[in-house]
Amino acid sequence: MPTVRVTRRVHFNAAHRLHNPALGDDENRRIYGLCNSPNWHGHNYDLDITVEGEPDPRTGYLVDLGEVRDAAGEVLKEVDHRNLNLDVPWLEGVIPSTENLVVALWRQLAPRIPRGRLARLVLYETPRNWAEYEGD
């Protein structure tokens, strides 16, 4: 059987602040600019979830994308309309950059994929800025 990839896009909104407590305020402002606002800022995130594997000969599906959506929903309910710095236990102590967030989302989502294997996540912070991750 051929190996194929299928992708489901999901959406969530969240606030965050990029700030490293080990650095001074001036250095944090220099590094993170507007993203260091002490009053937070938010994004409308899109997440592409790509699963890889062999299609089931009986159904023709690699995985039911509705099940991928539902698995993502279990994870995203923990970040949607939340403050990533304050409200998400599995992000505690993590600077919630797009790069760190996509890795953390992978760790939460990979065990929930019902069939095939999680092959790639693409997290869009804006239409012009995104991070990709394909696992360790």
* Cα-to-chain-centroid distance, residue 29: 25
Cβ count near 92 (within 10 Å): 9
The owner of tokens 């507007």 is: 34
Q: Provide the CATH number for the domain around residue 31.
A: 3.30.479.10
> Could you give the CA distance from residue 21 to residue 122 in angstroms, rounded to a whole number?
27
Predicted local distance difference test score (pLDDT) of residue 115? 94
Name the residues annotated as catalytic: 35, 81, 125
Q: Per residue of the chain (136 residues), what is the pLDDT tens digit?
A: 799 999 999 999 999 999 999 999 999 999 999 999 999 999 999 999 999 999 999 999 999 999 999 999 999 999 999 999 999 999 999 999 999 999 999 999 999 999 999 999 999 999 999 999 999 8
Q: Is 135 strand, coil or helix?
A: coil
Q: Treating both helix axes as pointing N-terminal to C-terminal, what angle do 65-76 and 98-109 enclose, rounded to 10 degrees?
A: 120
- What is the number of domains present in the chain? 1
* Residue 32: domain span: 4-65+72-133
Predicted local distance difference test score (pLDDT) of residue 136? 83
Predicted local distance difference test score (pLDDT) of residue 30? 97
Whole-prediction pTM value?
A: 0.95
